[in-house]
Amino acid sequence: MRQTAERLRLTGKRISVVPTMGYLHEGHLSLIRIAKKKSDVTITTLFVNPTQFGPNEDFSHYPRSFERDLSLAHSAGTDYLFAPEASQMYPTGYSTYVNVEGVADVLEGKSRPGHFRGVATVVTKLLNLTKPHVAVFGQKDAQQVAVIRRLVRDLNIDVEVLVVPIVREPDGLAMSSRNTYLNAEQRRQATVLYQALVLAEQRIKQGVRECSKIIDEMKSLITANSSGQIDYISIADNNSLQELAALQLRQSVLVSLAVKFGTTRLIDNIVLLV
């Protein structure tokens, strides 16, 4: 992969990369289509990265479908699909990890210790292997985006980070490979996540500035309309990801949440300008 990427760079090609864990859905395909528009050659990486899963998380049964992914990625316009084995990415004796402090320690990082260490490490490796001019990520993983922006800036990695809006099902549910875990009733109830985010948007537009008040309303909505167990609901500064008590005019705000339906943990978010 690295030799191919180097050869492409030397012939003046502009390379884009779309890092994924596979089981591609319309969200991923939108990333690939945009990547294709922004470059001469698009590489999609497909790697279920063990180091970003906790010991009690769903690594072993994370959904996989290589042939389907290959076909979907190709149809969306990818030129290369890079799908290494875990034993190639982390051979015996492997011992180097990239830590992004601060922005990685809140929200998902608090609920999933070690998750962003795994993300930062594998993204650094994938960027070194694919040598892209532009790397494309989905806004769905809002904190991942913040961590990667920080990582790229701090380690002086020569790549443009491009972030693509969330793609949603017709009823508002954010596309996710993990939606496949939901049973019919959970799937129906899961629409409440986006409804709670829209509620927050309405309240902020109506002039509510006290975050705890908005979060309480979101909680009530979710609890009243689903059996989902709320992991967190957060209103934070969109750059630092530090939680806010009160909103200020013209502040860019990330409203995000994580809710469990049975053993399936879903996340969603919305970015708002107050």
What residues act catalytically? Answer: 28
Quick check: 66 binds a copy of itself (CB under 8 A)? no
Burial status of residue 201 (CB atoms within 10 A of its CB: 0-12, 13-18, 19 or more):
middle
d(CA 75, CA 127): 23
Quick check: 97 binds a copy of itself (CB under 8 A)? yes
Please report the sign of the dihedral spanned by the C-alpha atoms of residue 64, residue 67, residue 72, residue 73: positive
Which range, of 24-32, 91-99, 204-212, 260-268, touches a copy of itself by CB under 8 A?
91-99
Whether 174 and 141 have beta carbons less than 8 Å apart is answered as no
In the numeric block, which tokens belong to residue 215? Answer: 């979060």
CB count, 10 Å around CB of 160? Answer: 12
Taking the complex as a whole, the smallest distance from the CB of residue 127 to a copy of itself amounts, in Å, to: 9
**Pick 123 or 166: Cβ nearer a copy of itself:** 123
Give the residues across from 22 on adjacent strands: none
- The separation between CA 233 and the C-alpha centre of its own chain, rounded to angstroms, equals 17
Taking the complex as a whole, the smallest distance from the CB of residue 157 to a copy of itself amounts, in Å, to: 5
Contacts of 263 (CB under 8 A, 6+ apart): 58, 181
- The separation between CA 215 and the C-alpha centre of its own chain, rounded to angstroms, equals 22
Which range, of 34-42, 117-125, 210-218, 257-265, touches a copy of itself by CB under 8 A?
117-125
Quick check: 26 binds a copy of itself (CB under 8 A)? no
The residue from 81, 120, 136, 267 that contacts a copy of itself (CB under 8 A) is: 120
**Pick 153 or 213: Cβ nearer a copy of itself:** 153
Phi-psi region of 112 (alpha: psi -120 to 50; beta: other; left: phi over 0): beta
Taking the complex as a whole, the smallest distance from the CB of residue 117 to a copy of itself amounts, in Å, to: 9
Which range, of 40-48, 60-68, 119-127, 169-177, touches a copy of itself by CB under 8 A?
119-127
d(CA 230, CA 246): 22
Quick check: 212 binds a copy of itself (CB under 8 A)? no
Taking the complex as a whole, the smallest distance from the CB of residue 202 to a copy of itself amounts, in Å, to: 33
Quick check: 96 binds a copy of itself (CB under 8 A)? yes
Quick check: 87 binds a copy of itself (CB under 8 A)? no
Q: Tell me which DSSP letter residue 246 carries.
A: B
The residue from 31, 43, 73, 98 that contacts a copy of itself (CB under 8 A) is: 98
Binding to a copy of itself (CB under 8 A) within 219-248 occurs at none
Quick check: 131 binds a copy of itself (CB under 8 A)? yes
**What value does the CA radius of gyration of the chain take, rounded to a whole number of Å?**
19
What number of CA atoms fall less than 13 Å from residue 119's CA on the CB side? Answer: 27
Binding to a copy of itself (CB under 8 A) within 134-193 occurs at 150-151, 154-158
Using CB under 8 A as the criterion, which residues of the chain lie in contact with a copy of itself when the complex forms? 2, 6, 9-10, 12, 93-103, 120-121, 124-125, 128-129, 131, 150-151, 154-158
